Amino acid sequence: MGEVAARFAGIVGEVNLLTGDRISEDYAHDESLTSEPRKPAYVAKPGAPGEVAALLVAAGEHGVPVTARGSGSGMSAAARPREDGLLISFERMNKVLEIDTGNQVAVVQPGVTLAELDERTAEAGLAYTVFPGELSASVGGTVGTNAGGMRAVKYGVTRHNVLGLQAVLPTGEIIRTGGKTSKISTGYDLTQLIIGSEGTLALATEVTVKLFPRLPHGATLLAPFGDLRQVMEAVPGIVSSGLAPNILEYIDNLTMAAISYNEQLSLGVPDEIQQATQAYLVVGLENRDAGRLDGDVARAGELLAELGASDVYVLEGGSARKLIEAREKAFWAAKSAGADDVIDVVVPRSEMPGFLEKTRETALAAESGAIGCGHAGDGNVHLAIFCKDREKRHRLLHDIFADAIARGGAISGEHGIGAAKKRYFLDLEDPAKVALMRRLKHAFDPGGILNPGVLFD
Amino acid sequence: MGEVAARFAGIVGEVNLLTGDRISEDYAHDESLTSEPRKPAYVAKPGAPGEVAALLVAAGEHGVPVTARGSGSGMSAAARPREDGLLISFERMNKVLEIDTGNQVAVVQPGVTLAELDERTAEAGLAYTVFPGELSASVGGTVGTNAGGMRAVKYGVTRHNVLGLQAVLPTGEIIRTGGKTSKISTGYDLTQLIIGSEGTLALATEVTVKLFPRLPHGATLLAPFGDLRQVMEAVPGIVSSGLAPNILEYIDNLTMAAISYNEQLSLGVPDEIQQATQAYLVVGLENRDAGRLDGDVARAGELLAELGASDVYVLEGGSARKLIEAREKAFWAAKSAGADDVIDVVVPRSEMPGFLEKTRETALAAESGAIGCGHAGDGNVHLAIFCKDREKRHRLLHDIFADAIARGGAISGEHGIGAAKKRYFLDLEDPAKVALMRRLKHAFDPGGILNPGVLFD
Ligand SMILES: Cc1cc2nc3c(=O)[nH]c(=O)nc-3n(C[C@H](O)[C@H](O)[C@H](O)COP(=O)(O)OP(=O)(O)OC[C@H]3O[C@@H](n4cnc5c(N)ncnc54)[C@H](O)[C@@H]3O)c2cc1C
Ligand SMILES: Cc1cc2nc3c(=O)[nH]c(=O)nc-3n(C[C@H](O)[C@H](O)[C@H](O)COP(=O)(O)OP(=O)(O)OC[C@H]3O[C@@H](n4cnc5c(N)ncnc54)[C@H](O)[C@@H]3O)c2cc1C
């Protein structure tokens, strides 16, 4: 074992320090479709914040770049390690430390998965409402990417639901930010700065999240529309209705076909309606009271019809769950259909019709495909891009992102920039902002050891 | 006119640059009770972002410290200028630029007051839900302090409701952060970093805020409790009930007496109950449906009784409004009663009983008074401190803040640190965090011209 490896092993214990062949393929990538796997020189599995701090100090002294890894389900290659680097995997720091019902918060270690947190909060009648499509994702990873997901339309994204952190600075100090309160005006908000920084500023070793009462009654409506533009135009109407849907997704017809096929989903929509449908809207409602839910479902049904839906289906428990699960797996359907990239542009809600129309034209002109679905309530459009030629695809993505930005949107709503979308970010973002962000990065990480190559070159 | 004044006047026009006697007393202070008024050397009233940028560049070149001012209703002396400084007053940049109903956002200049924004959003059936007690406050000022207020228990604080900014960096660049979308994972969140930075990092020249449907039906419940501890213990029960109150305040008996007297308020609570009351809980409910509101009021009444209220009064329109208004004026009541300071500690909700008990003891031991009210749903306790002796008061506040921090809270929930609470902040905050914040400050403001003496020395 080399000197550096021995130093790391001294910190986490030999069994928790992997090198060479002991490093499995899994650690070499996340779920980005465009980044080649890359095995790191070292994988360390710390068991405590102090070990993380010691690893960072050691890495700093030896000039070893460090990448944090939760579950590796990210889409931006931000958890993909460097070949000469140390991958810090939080898999052993996976305890739910506290479910605090009085304050309605949970305190967890970063390696806890969303699936486990969901189970544990359910026992207390509470819920952590950040649900990206992949529940194997770790809480630390969602802090890294500022993950969103379907419920964000009602409950907000990670940023709105993480109240505090324990975090290790690249210089080795362990700090606490925020706490079990949802308001603090006492200095700069370090919690918010670390959230969404994709492992480039500090590593979270403990996360305090906000919980909500788990509402017992829910319903899912499926509304086919003859016209994609109409779907998009319906969205603001539903948001402003006061019905406060907890899910508001659109799925275009090709994506619906792909996920229905992949998941053997049958929704009971007659063939002739399916054929005349360009896109579907999925509306989730929930309530603590069954009668009120019924009232809301009726009102939502009327509203959808007024807004141009060709029909409205109220899905029962089992098929509702299946539809949502299938929608969450849209990524796998796209992947198995041969998609060359997946993007998650965000634009103001009202810009979605124009953006999607323009994107369709741009893709067509490039002899490429761009189909998708998305968190329509948030203006967050997920598109599977079909375009084998790399240079052509770069130009296509550049044009799509530029259009989104021109409409007041951004390259990514929830997946992050990572390494995968960096060239577009550096090309299209205001240089004054990028320069400022670099200075902030330097203020946290003067040695530049945390995730170099992510966000910046 | 001196050289520097001439330069500033050249930017904003002579009529918009005040010096000497043309500077009124108003510009010398905010509403902090402990900071001596201090007239600045210059007051400039820019009319456009470009003028703000030019002022900052000029100030930088001449080494003139710059303080931003909205309406001067802040509580932390963060808008109090330096004697040798330039005060940039945003009073002329006071236009509502857009009420965008499709995206449910408003775009405003920073000098717009909350009262005006409330009027303008009402016309569209929408509301900006950040309501600190002082509606003359400017949107820019609320960005500066991360203002909260009564509705934060349901809708969050400024941080949760500002989606984007146009901001001028102290180096003169004009940047745009965020936008008309509620989720973005594209680089560091500069919006969130600027919010709550009390004019020390960048100046907001345009603010994009989230709006919510204005719910037409509301009710206010007033519940006297025999015991302060019981009030505090009731709070988590109401939060977790799923009733989602939009107001959840406590008012102790002395404060209630003071505001009732000041505002000539009569709530119809019989004398014998008043005398047996240690504190009141005020619960606001709202709904888009009148029937559902009635159901919620009934449920809330039962719940309050179960939780130990000695009675529950459902206040009608006029007296409900009066009570809320009187509560908002608690600060003026405290001031006219001779309070020596007002603080707004935040602790986890469940820590409120212990914190208040301890604070009462600490104040008693110091032969001082600490009475108050607060945003109980958020753990945000507003206390009027009665203690004439300055050194004694410093020790008392130090002990109260230290106790709040030990309980997982912070010095300020919404008023900010400013200059008024700086010594406690620098004393009690983790030095590693303060050092990091200083580095962030330097990354924004290498010349140190923005609000020196606020937050840091
Ligand atoms: C099928 C599928 C569906 C998905 N749907 C969604 C969706 O709807 N919404 C959405 O937002 N995302 C979605 N994702 C993406 C992914 O689930 C999220 O990005 C998630 O946040 C990643 O968590 P992870 O633990 O896998 O993180 P990783 O991929 O391991 O890491 C992500 C980033 O976080 C950093 N990081 C990890 N741990 C820490 C830590 N402790 N401290 C600081 N930084 C850390 C990493 O360095 C990296 O930059 C989906 C992914 C898949 C495969
Ligand atoms: C009776 C009363 C009740 C109150 N109740 C509450 C309450 O319930 N909740 C609460 O949170 N606050 C409350 N406050 C405090 C106050 O209203 C808020 O702090 C408000 O945010 C101040 O707004 P302002 O425009 O007066 O800001 P100012 O006092 O002018 O400035 C506040 C800070 O913001 C900075 N600033 C101003 N404009 C800008 C800009 N454009 N860009 C960047 N920084 C800027 C200033 O430099 C300063 O640091 C109350 C005050 C009073 C008098």
Q: Note the CATH number of domain A96-213.
A: 3.30.465.10
Distance of residue B23 Cα from the nearest chain A Cα, in angstroms? 30
**Residue B333 in tokens:** 């009541």
Instruction: Indicate which atom in ligand 2 lies nearest the CA of residue B67.
Output: 47
Strand, coil or helix: what is A376?
helix
Sort B123 into a burial class: Cβ within 10 Å, 0-12 / 13-18 / 19+.
Answer: exposed
Euclidean distance between CA atoms B399 and A309, whole angstroms: 62
For residue A376, the CA-to-ligand 1 centroid distance in Å is: 21
B241 min Cα distance to partner chain A (Å): 8
CATH topology of domain B217-328: Alpha-Beta Plaits (3.30.70)
CA distance linking residue B392 with residue A80, whole number of Å: 56
Does the distance separating the beta carbons of B414 and A146 come in below 8 Å? no
Q: In this complex, do B378 and A182 lie within 8 Å of one another by their Cβ atoms? A: yes
Mean per-residue pLDDT for A405-410?
A: 98
Q: Give, in order, the Cα–Cα distances in Å from B388 to each of A65, A136, B31, B89, B415.
A: 56, 58, 18, 33, 22
Per 3-state DSSP, what percentage of chain B is helix, strand, and coil (rounded to 5)? 40, 20, 40
pLDDT of residue B379: 96
Q: Compute the distance between CA of residue A83 and CA of residue A67 in angstroms, rounded to an integer.
A: 11
What's the CA-to-centroid distance between B32 and ligand 2, angstroms?
11
- Does residue B402 sit at the A interface (CB-CB below 8 Å)? no
Q: Which residues contact A318 (CB under 8 A, 6 or more apart)?
A: none
Quote ipTM for the complex.
Answer: 0.97
Does the beta-carbon distance from B185 to A414 stay under 8 Å? Answer: yes
Contact A187 B429 (CB under 8 A): yes
DSSP assignment string, A295-353: HHHHHHHHHHHHTTBS--EEE-HHHHHHHHHHHHTHHHHHHHTT-SEEEEEE--GGGHH
Q: How far apart are CA B141 and CA A306, in angstroms?
A: 42
Mutational test site, ligand 2, from B33, B67, B69, B146, max ligand atoms within 8 Å of CB: B69
Tokens of A102: 């009085």
In chain A the first and final C-alpha atoms are separated, in Å, by 31
Going by alpha carbons, the residue nearest to atom 13 of ligand 2 is: B132
Q: Where are the domains of chain A?
A: 3-89, 96-213, 217-328, 338-416
Task: Scan residues 437-456 of B and list those with Cβ closer than 8 Å to A.
Answer: 437, 439-444, 455
What tokens appear for A211 in the block?
């919980």
Q: Which residue of B has its CA nearest to A158?
A: B183
Does the beta carbon of B242 lie under 8 angstroms from any beta carbon of chain A?
yes
- Whether residue B17 contacts residue B51, with contact meaning beta carbons closer than 8 Å, is answered with no
Q: Do B215 and A242 touch (CB under 8 A)?
A: yes
Residues from chain A that touch B152, judged by Cβ atoms under 8 A, are 182-183
Residue B324 C-alpha to ligand 1 middle, in angstroms?
Answer: 44
In this prediction, residue A267 carries a pLDDT of 81
d(CA B103, CA A349): 6
CB contact under 8 A, A187 and B433: yes
Q: Which residue of B has its CA nearest to A235?
A: B102
* pLDDT digit string, tens, across residues A107-147: 999 999 999 999 999 999 999 999 999 999 999 999 999 99
Q: Which residue of B has its CA nearest to A405?
A: B179
pLDDT band at A167 (very low <50, low <70, confident <90, very high): very high
Instruction: Please tell me which of the candidates A348, A417, A441 has its beta carbon nearest to residue B186.
Output: A417
Residues with C-beta less than 6 Å from any ligand 1 atom: A 30-31, 67-75, 78-79, 90, 110, 132-134, 137-138, 140-145, 147-149, 198-199, 203-204, 328-329, 331-332, 414-415, 451
CA of B397 to the centre of ligand 2 (A): 22
pLDDT at A260: 87
Ligand nearest to the CA of A56: 1
The set of residues, in sequence order, having a beta carbon less than 8 Å from that of A276 and lying 6+ positions away, is A224, A226, A310
CA B130 to chain centre: 9
Cα–Cα distance for residue pair A24/A1, rounded to 1 Å: 18
> Is any Cβ of chain A less than 8 angstroms from the Cβ of B33?
no
Nearest-by-Cβ selection for B102 from A102, A169, A349: A349
Chain centre distance of CA B403: 22
pLDDT (tens digit, 0 to 9) for every residue of chain B, 457 residues total? 799 999 999 999 999 999 999 999 999 999 999 999 999 999 999 999 999 999 999 999 999 999 999 999 999 999 999 999 999 999 999 999 999 999 999 999 999 999 999 999 999 999 999 999 999 999 999 999 999 999 999 999 999 999 999 999 999 999 999 999 999 999 999 999 999 999 999 999 999 999 999 999 999 999 999 998 899 899 999 998 989 999 999 999 999 998 888 888 888 889 899 999 999 999 999 999 999 999 999 999 999 999 999 999 999 778 889 999 999 999 999 999 999 999 999 999 999 999 999 999 999 999 999 999 999 999 999 999 999 999 999 999 999 999 999 999 999 999 999 999 999 999 999 999 999 999 999 999 999 999 999 999 8
Predicted local confidence at residue A129, as pLDDT: 97
How far does residue B379's CA lie from ligand 2's centre (Å)?
20
Does residue A206 have a pLDDT over 90? Answer: yes
B266 and chain A: CB distance < 8 Å anywhere?
A: no
CB under 6 Å to ligand 2: residues?
Answer: B 30-31, 67-75, 78-79, 90, 110, 132-134, 137-138, 140-145, 147-149, 198-199, 203-204, 328-329, 331-332, 414-415, 451
Rounded-to-integer distance, Cα A52 and Cα A44, Å: 9
Per-residue confidence band for A316, with pLDDT thresholds at 50, 70 and 90:
confident
Q: Probe ligand 1: pick from A38, A55, A69, A161, max atoms within 8 Å of CB? A: A69
* Sign of the CA dihedral with A222 first, then A226, A228, and A229 last: negative
pLDDT of residue A174: 98
pLDDT at A263 over 90: no
Q: Which CATH number fits domain A338-416: 2.60.40.1110, 3.30.70.2740, 3.20.10.10, 3.10.20.30?
A: 3.30.70.2740
B173 to chain A, any CB pair closer than 8 A? The answer is: yes
Q: A432 to chain B: which residues are within 8 Å by CB?
A: 169, 173, 175
Which of A320 and A40 is assigned the larger pLDDT? A40
- Chains A and B: how many Cβ contacts under 8 Å? 249
> Which DSSP category does B20 fall into?
G
Distances (CA, A) of A357 to A261, A308, A310, A362, A363: 26, 18, 21, 9, 10
Residue with CA nearest ligand 1 atom 28: A72
Q: Say if residues A309 and A223 touch (Cβ distance below 8 Å).
A: yes
Predicted pLDDT of residue A268: 82
Query: How do B126-127 and B203-210 pair as beta strands?
Result: unpaired
Chain B residues close to A379, C-beta within 8 Å: 103, 181
Question: What would the pLDDT profile of B306-365 be if each residue is shown by its tens digit?
Answer: 999 999 999 977 888 999 999 999 999 999 999 999 999 999 999 999 999 999 999 999
- Partner residue facing A188 (CB), from B182, B378, B440: B440
Q: How confident is the model at residue A318 (pLDDT cuts 50, 70, 90)?
A: confident
pLDDT, one tens digit per residue, over A440-452 is 999 999 999 999 9
Rounded to the nearest whole angstrom, what is the distance from the C-alpha of residue B81 to the centroid of ligand 2?
A: 14
Check residue B128 and give its pLDDT: 98
| Residue B210 CA, ligand 2 centroid: distance in Å | 19
Q: How far apart are CA A392 and CA A340, in angstroms?
A: 12
Q: Which of A108, A134, A341 to mutate to test the pocket of ligand 1 (most atoms within 8 A of CB)?
A: A134
Collect all residues with Cβ–Cβ distance below 8 Å to A391 and sequence separation of at least 6: none
pTM of the predicted model, to two decimals? 0.98
Separation of alpha carbons B63 and B11, rounded Å: 17
Place of tokens 């609470």: B421
Which site among A157, A158, A185 would you substitute to test the B interface, given the most B Cβ atoms closer than 10 Å to its Cβ?
Answer: A185
- CATH T-level assignment (fold) for domain B3-89: 3.30.43
Q: What is the dihedral of CA B266, B272, B278, B281, to 10 degrees?
A: -50
pLDDT of residue A371: 93
Taking 80 as the threshold, does the pLDDT of residue A317 lie above it? no
Cα dihedral value B313, B318, B324, B325, nearest 10: -150
Secondary structure element (H or E) that encloses residue A218, with its range = strand A217-225
Q: Which of residues 316-345 of A touch B (CB under 8 A)?
A: none
Nearest partner of A347 among A398, A400, A405, judged by Cα: A405
**Closest ligand 2 atom number to CA of residue B93:** 41
Comparing A217-328 with A338-416, is the CATH topology the same? yes
| Strand A126-127, strand A212-213: pairing | antiparallel
